[in-house]
Amino acid sequence: MTGTTPYRTYLSEQQIPTAWYNLRADMPEKPEPMRLPNGAVATHTDLTPVFADALIDQELDDDTAYFEIPEPVREMYKVYRPSPLCRAYNLERALGTPAHIYYKFEGNNTSGSHKLNSALAQAYYAAAQGLTNITTETGAGQWGTALAEAAAHYGLDLDVFMVKCSYEQKPFRRNIMETFGATVTPSPSTTTEAGRKILAAHPDSSGSLGTAISEAVERALHVPENRGRYQLGSVLNQVVLHQSVIGLESYEALRVIGEYPDIVIGCAGGGSNLGGLIAPFMRDKLCGERPDTRFIAVEPASCPSLTRGRYAYDFADTGQTCPLCKMYTLGNGFIPSSDHAGGLRYHGMSPIVSKLKHDGYLEAVAVRQTDVFEAGEKFAKLETILPAPESSHAILAAIREAEKCRETGEAKTILFGLTGTGYFDMVAYDKYNRGEMSDHVPSDEELEAGFATIPSIPGVQ
């Protein structure tokens, strides 16, 4: 038996938000500004060679609460949005919990994840500015796939630097990107100065997002006639802004069915889906309307930036070519264990998410990947969607919160982000099913080696 709430709540196309919501506008204390290595606050002019102009405007704007979604982007959103808000009745029953568990399912598009929400926006702005080339990095491959789709739609050439271990483990992701017309290079590569430098120091490097970012930025800067720009799939304020479409739709769908979450949970790699999902609910908390809502970021124990990292200015990339963000970081030189499956391998975290954590509005937990896969498999059997390993971090935390409700008898409403599907993660699922998956949790000494790469900036830190 189920309640009156449907298994899936679908909004109509007309209910797709017309504007993204910028949570920074309602934060009592703003995230720290981006800085250059000399400590100066980064300006629009400083960022112009790297990012498309409209995206820089969004990046640097802490005050405008709503940015209109350009009509061509909204049209493309209609191809796969609104995404469903799902009630996990089967999971609830299996757990024997009185909790109401909801998940926002973002995997129902070719890229298989929420990444398309920002990819379409970023590619649109690049094309609207008359640029011809964009470059990016990708870890597990979802962001690269999403940007390849978006680049194909807007007629842009795309160069993707793919973290080497994923490139080798996930040939099908690469095949999709190539099918959409992107060029995919395993990183570190010998095609850039940054890649060559890292290979000279670590010839066997399996790659990291930080390294791939350095390579992609360098490539963008070398496109003739200044017609190339770099695009990033997470961390940046602009990406969190675009991902607010997830939270805004969830907010509206929950309103329609008469619910409001007590707990909102998201997995955290660079923080974009989490930042976007929580945005309107966090606004209610910050404004004092819903002070008791809990927000939980879930990260891998193997790459624990929020739970064990330092809150400091650090480079966004390993090659130390990008500006610096104030964020929870493991150090730009931190390279997560290659045992770790899937994404969530970035050394830092969105400055917005970091600030919320630092100021006590957001909790963070780190979980082990064998527990994550156990939760993912349970979810797949019950809810019939094979989750991305990244998303399974949020599933695990939601299950744990629902189990607490079973103990206390509280019928809390739990919302989590099911950011994507795991159909290209079969090597990892296979490893898990064979009992060959391990849990690498970095020692304090390993973390210290990463912290040593956090720069000191005269007058700042």
Nearest distance in Å: CB 36, ligand PLP: 24
Q: Is position 298 an interface residue for ligand PLP (rule: CB under 6 A)?
A: no
Q: Is position 303 an interface residue for ligand PLP (rule: CB under 6 A)?
A: no
Please name the residues in contact with 107: beta carbons below 8 A apart, sequence gap of 6 or more: 113, 385, 387, 388, 391, 418, 419, 420, 421
Nearest distance in Å: CB 19, ligand PLP: 21
Nearest distance in Å: CB 420, ligand PLP: 3
Q: Is position 333 an interface residue for ligand PLP (rule: CB under 6 A)?
A: no
Cβ closest to ligand PLP, residue 126 vs residue 385 = 385
Of the residues 312, 388, 397, 428, which one makes contact with ligand PLP according to CB under 6 A = 388
Nearest distance in Å: CB 170, ligand PLP: 11
Q: How far apart are CA 333 and CA 330, in angstroms?
A: 8
Q: Is position 208 an interface residue for ligand PLP (rule: CB under 6 A)?
A: no
Nearest distance in Å: CB 143, ligand PLP: 5
- Strand 100-105 with 413-418, pairing: parallel
Is 131 in contact with 156 (CB distance < 8 Å)?
yes
Strands (E), 222-373: 228-230, 263-267, 294-300, 310-315, 324-329, 363-367
Q: Is position 390 an interface residue for ligand PLP (rule: CB under 6 A)?
A: yes
Of the residues 267, 278, 303, 324, which one makes contact with ligand PLP according to CB under 6 A = 267
Side-chain half-sphere of 327: how many Cα atoms within 13 Å?
29
- Chain residues 220-239 in contact with ligand PLP, contact rule CB under 6 A: 234
Of the residues 84, 270, 319, 323, which one makes contact with ligand PLP according to CB under 6 A = 270
Q: Is position 135 an interface residue for ligand PLP (rule: CB under 6 A)?
A: no
Structure tokens at 63: 């005050």
Nearest distance in Å: CB 9, ligand PLP: 21
Q: What is the DSSP letter of 130?
A: T
Q: Is position 140 an interface residue for ligand PLP (rule: CB under 6 A)?
A: yes
Q: Is position 269 an interface residue for ligand PLP (rule: CB under 6 A)?
A: yes
Nearest distance in Å: CB 341, ligand PLP: 12
Cβ closest to ligand PLP, residue 48 vs residue 175 = 175
* Site of tokens 């690269």: 144
Nearest distance in Å: CB 270, ligand PLP: 4
Exposed (0-12), middle (13-18) or buried (19+): which is 252, by Cβ within 10 Å?
A: middle
- Chain residues 46-105 in contact with ligand PLP, contact rule CB under 6 A: none
Q: Is position 272 an interface residue for ligand PLP (rule: CB under 6 A)?
A: yes
Exposed (0-12), middle (13-18) or buried (19+): which is 26, by Cβ within 10 Å?
A: middle
Question: What's the distance, Cα to Cα, between the start and end of the chain in Å?
Answer: 58
Q: How far apart are CA 234 and CA 48, in angstroms?
A: 19
Amino acid at 328: Y
Residue whose C-alpha is closest to residue 297's, from 254, 354, 247: 354
Q: Is position 304 an interface residue for ligand PLP (rule: CB under 6 A)?
A: no
Of the residues 58, 122, 273, 338, which one makes contact with ligand PLP according to CB under 6 A = 273
Exposed (0-12), middle (13-18) or buried (19+): which is 382, by Cβ within 10 Å?
A: middle
Q: Is position 343 an interface residue for ligand PLP (rule: CB under 6 A)?
A: yes
Q: How far apart are CA 285 and CA 293, in angstroms?
A: 7
Which residues partner with 310 through β-bridges? 329
Q: Is position 113 an interface residue for ligand PLP (rule: CB under 6 A)?
A: yes
Q: How far apart are CA 135 and CA 230, in angstroms?
A: 5
Cβ closest to ligand PLP, residue 242 vs residue 412 = 242
Size of the site for ligand PLP (CB under 6 A): 21
Nearest distance in Å: CB 318, ligand PLP: 17
Of the residues 95, 212, 213, 344, which one makes contact with ligand PLP according to CB under 6 A = 344
Q: How far apart are CA 187 and CA 214, in angstroms?
A: 10
Is 366 in contact with 250 (CB distance < 8 Å)?
no
Is 425 in contact with 341 (CB distance < 8 Å)?
yes
Interacting stretch for ligand PLP, rule CB under 6 A, among 21-29, 134-142, 151-159, 222-230?
A: 134-142
Q: Is position 419 an interface residue for ligand PLP (rule: CB under 6 A)?
A: yes
Q: Is position 323 an interface residue for ligand PLP (rule: CB under 6 A)?
A: no
Q: Is position 144 an interface residue for ligand PLP (rule: CB under 6 A)?
A: no
Q: Is position 420 an interface residue for ligand PLP (rule: CB under 6 A)?
A: yes
Q: How far apart are CA 136 and CA 142, in angstroms?
A: 12
Local structure of 174: helix, strand or coil: helix
Of the residues 20, 143, 373, 424, which one makes contact with ligand PLP according to CB under 6 A = 143
Interacting stretch for ligand PLP, rule CB under 6 A, among 26-34, 70-78, 384-392, 426-434?
A: 384-392
Contact residues: ligand PLP, CB under 6 A: 113, 139-140, 142-143, 234, 267-274, 343-344, 388, 390-391, 419-420
